[in-house]
Amino acid sequence: MSANLNDTLLDRALDGTPDGATLAETIAVNLARSFADGEVGFTGLVTGGAAALFGTSIPLAAMSLAQAMHAPNLTILLAGWSHNPDLGSLSVMPDSEFDSVLRDLPCDAQMLTYPGPWAIKRGDIDFGFSSGVQVDAVGSINSVCIGDPAKPKVRLVGPILQPEHMTLFGREYVMMPHHARRNFVEKVDYVSGVGYPGGLEGRKRLGLNHGGPEWVVTPKCVFDFDKEAGRIRVKSVHRDADRRDLAEHTGFAVDAGNAPLTAAPTKDELDLLRRHVDPNGILLGRRAA
């Protein structure tokens, strides 16, 4: 499936949703409902098209919406260091993590050195968002290479913060901007962030007593995990059509036959999202009417 097709679908209203909620809005609302008051959420600053939307804009919209609905004390960490940035003062999304635009973006606190305000190993960060070029059937993710790591077919950027995201954060939302067989594989070529090999017991044997992937969000569905068994499963699909062709586009075995549709936003949630969180369409590309 081409990137362009996915990009187009993101802007399109889902069937039967109130007020024509788009896929991006629907995902943001579902994420927002899953955050608790007082939590700290961490998102990087991803750039470029669908990757930026999935990796940064939807997470920011979701966290802002949660603050407006039920979680006024949730803390947003943008690019990991700007605490509760004033997104309403932006005219465009920033596209650089450490330049003067973000330095000058009004916020509650900044991280100026390491170690900084958050004690990552004490569990200060409740949830985060990450992505990868591959995710596998146990929820491990890969951002390092395609092919044999000793002589890769494609070298990517490296593990970055993924090992920490998948173990030191309370839970992880893996945001995958494209849904194709090459992205969803039985076993990743390089484990840069570890899922549930052998289930929760398997994680314990690896010395991991905390964290792990919670959902994997794609343009076609939301996956969650049977954490005891250590296996990914379909939590919901975004459209009827996705239920029919999910297996065709997924490289590990999936059963979407009985998967429900992803829960639709309410009218109140959409109003908040469009009029309060993202009135200028900076995050989700849709302006308030």
Partner 1 sequence: MTNKTSKVGSIADAVTLIPDGTRLAIGGFAIYQHPMAVVRALIRAGRRDLAIVGTVNGNEVDLLVGAGCVKRVETSYVGLEKYGLAPNFRRAVEEGRVEVVDYPEVLSFDRFRASQENFTFWPCDYLGGTDVLARNPDIKPFICPATGRTLHAVPPADPEVVVLHAIAADERGNVILPQRHLLPQGLDVIMARGCDTVIVTVEKIVPQSMIRRHAAQVQIPSYKTTLVVEAPWGAHPTALLGRYATDDAHFRDYVAASASPDGFAAYLDRYVHGPADHQAYLDAVGPGRLGSLTEFDTL
114 binds partner 1 (CB under 8 A): yes
For 262, phi then psi, to 5°, come to -55, 135
Beta bridge partners of 237: 221, 261
Helices (H) and strands (E) in the chain, counts: 9, 14
Measured from the CB atom, is 36 or 154 closer to partner 1? 154
- Tell which one of 35, 42, 54, 81 touches partner 1 (CB under 8 A): 81
Measured from the CB atom, is 30 or 140 closer to partner 1? 140
Start-to-end CA span in the chain (Å) = 32
- Residue 14, by phi and psi: left (phi above 0), alpha (psi -120 to 50) or beta? beta
**Structural tokens at position 4:** 């362009």
Query: What span, in angstroms and rounded, lies between the C-alpha atoms of 73 and 116?
Result: 20
106 binds partner 1 (CB under 8 A): no
> Before 115, cis peptide (omega within 30)?
yes
Stretch that binds partner 1, among 68-76, 170-178, 192-200, 273-281 (CB under 8 A): 192-200
HSE at residue 122, side-chain half, CA atoms within 13 A, is 7
125 binds partner 1 (CB under 8 A): no
- Tell which one of 59, 159, 213, 230 touches partner 1 (CB under 8 A): 159
- Tell which one of 5, 13, 119, 157 touches partner 1 (CB under 8 A): 157
60 binds partner 1 (CB under 8 A): no
- Tell which one of 158, 260, 279, 281 touches partner 1 (CB under 8 A): 158
Stretch that binds partner 1, among 3-11, 17-25, 63-71, 199-207 (CB under 8 A): 199-207
Measured from the CB atom, is 19 or 97 closer to partner 1? 97
**Structural tokens at position 71:** 């979680």
Query: What span, in angstroms and rounded, lies between the C-alpha atoms of 116 and 237?
Result: 39
**Structural tokens at position 20:** 């024509």
Minimum separation from the CB atom of position 194 to partner 1 (A): 4
Minimum separation from the CB atom of position 67 to partner 1 (A): 24
30 binds partner 1 (CB under 8 A): no
Stretch that binds partner 1, among 12-20, 146-154, 215-223, 257-265 (CB under 8 A): 146-154
Stretch that binds partner 1, among 27-35, 62-70, 89-97, 261-269 (CB under 8 A): 89-97
Count the site residues for partner 1 by CB under 8 A.
50
Cα 42 to chain center, whole Å? 10
Instruction: Give, in order, the Cα–Cα distances in Å from 103 to each of 112, 125, 177, 212, 220.
Output: 10, 22, 28, 31, 36
Which residues 207-266 are close enough to bind partner 1 by CB under 8 A?
207-208
**Structural tokens at position 129:** 């968002």
Which residues are CB-neighbours of 281 under 8 A, at least 6 positions away?
Answer: 287, 288
- Tell which one of 21, 194, 264, 282 touches partner 1 (CB under 8 A): 194
Residues of this chain that bind partner 1 (CB under 8 A): 47-48, 81, 95-100, 102-103, 110-114, 116, 120-121, 140, 144-145, 149, 151-164, 167-168, 190-194, 197, 203, 205-208
